Amino acid sequence: MAFTLREFRKVANDRSFKEEHNLRRRFLKYSLDHDSCNMIFYGPAVPPKTGLIAFSPSAWRDSGPIGDVFRVTGTGSILETSAHCDVVKKLKLVGEPYRVFRKTVFIRGMFTSALEVSRMIGAKIETVSKIRGIIKAALVNSADGAKPGDFRATFEAPICKADLVFLRSFVMVELPPYYNPISNLLFPKDSEAITCHPNKPETSDNQTNESTQKGWRMMRTLGEMRRSMDLKKPVKKDSFYTPIERQPYISAPLRFSTSFVSSLPFKEKPRAPRSAGRVDPIARLRAPLLVPPSVDRSASVKHRRQQRSASDYVQHPSDDQESKLVSSRTALSRLRALHASWLAKKRRDTTVRVSRFKAKLDADAHSREQAAKAKRKAFFASGRGKGKRKS
């Protein structure tokens, strides 16, 4: 990079950012194509509106048909100089509720210590379904099963135990203080550095050429170094996609309060399925026929057919069964009589209560009428009603 008469080297650790409408400088992982963006780097203090140019080093590249490969990577101007870096990037923390008390929830997995929780008390959180909440306090009582980093939060509505809780925040981006100025631009370029392989030992001719030419090798990119050393890009195990194992979600049945159901219109009220209270007509007809026979089951079918007469097809109840039927009928008749007497008493009480209420209403109306008459009589008796009438 170069501005005015200064030229210096920078590695690929400069931070590109974009200023949002709320003046937040958000870090960009990739610069946008055909769009302007801002960049912050560590360098000398210069006045604003100073021109700036950045180019890629070409001393380690192969020569093209018209000379060495040279490319300008960016141009711009200095906007401001500051002693600190105020570029931020997004940080999203995820937690899982392990205890739900209506709108109060205990959350785990978002922080690792109570100190981190204390720093974020009052921060806003939300679930996947956009139910907002706030962090209240850290849980330090291990007797209740709390672990370091667990905290208590409240939400604006009840949440489920299967919901995920997010905390969206911003963290400052660190800028490495690296600045390597080029003091002399008159050194001849070392052409032997292009053909020299780092893994191969340098010959005496190369050493003499470097000592005589006093060439200077410019900085190479990481990709060029890997290609020259025949190295592959390291792959992290955390970068591989792993199969996600989730427990099958079983939704709870919907439950409505009685007041809510009663307030619904008739066509919107929940109804039981038609097959819930339906009785099979064939089973209802077969029920009287499924009485256990009085003949011993161990006898053969042929013997039972010979012993069975026409009267055996209609089975009469025994004495015990008949006594039970009589007792049950008597109990049912008594219950019906008690219920009828209770209904009659309820009707009488309702009639008395309604008559008393109507009498009270009549008395109140009569008292109001008498009070109005007395007030009217007193008004005209005092002479205030003898004023001149307007014609």
Cα separation, 352 vs 344, whole angstroms: 12
pLDDT at site 103: 93
Cα separation, 73 vs 59, whole angstroms: 16
More confident residue, 70 or 98: 98
pLDDT at site 12: 47
- In this predicted structure, which of 113-122, 138-147, 304-313, 342-351 has the lowest mean pLDDT? 304-313
The CATH code of the domain at 92-169 is 2.40.10.190
The pLDDT confidence band at residue 157, using thresholds 50, 70 and 90, is very high
pLDDT at site 358: 94
Whole-model pTM: value is: 0.49
Report domain extents, the chain: 2-77, 92-169, 184-229
pLDDT at site 194: 39
- In this predicted structure, which of 13-27, 130-144, 229-243 has the lowest mean pLDDT? 13-27
The pLDDT confidence band at residue 314, using thresholds 50, 70 and 90, is very low
More confident residue, 86 or 66: 86
Q: Are 27 and 175 a contacting pair, CB within 8 Å? A: no
The helix/strand/coil state of 260 is helix
pLDDT at site 33: 76
pLDDT at site 216: 60
Closest CA to 137 of 114, 162, 113: 114
Cα separation, 152 vs 101, whole angstroms: 11
Q: Which residue has the tokens 């008594």?
A: 334
Residues 6+ apart with CB under 8 A from 27: 15, 16, 17, 87, 88, 89, 173
In the predicted structure, residue 187 carries a pLDDT above the cut 80? no
Closest CA to 92 of 165, 19, 22: 165
**Each residue of 34-51: pLDDT tens digit?**
778 888 888 888 889 988
In the predicted structure, residue 70 carries a pLDDT above the cut 60? yes
The pLDDT confidence band at residue 97, using thresholds 50, 70 and 90, is very high
More confident residue, 292 or 337: 337
Answer left, alpha or beta for residue 245, where phi above 0 means left and psi between -120 and 50 means alpha: beta
More confident residue, 284 or 114: 114
Closest CA to 37 of 18, 63, 13: 18
Q: Are 131 and 155 a contacting pair, CB within 8 Å? A: yes
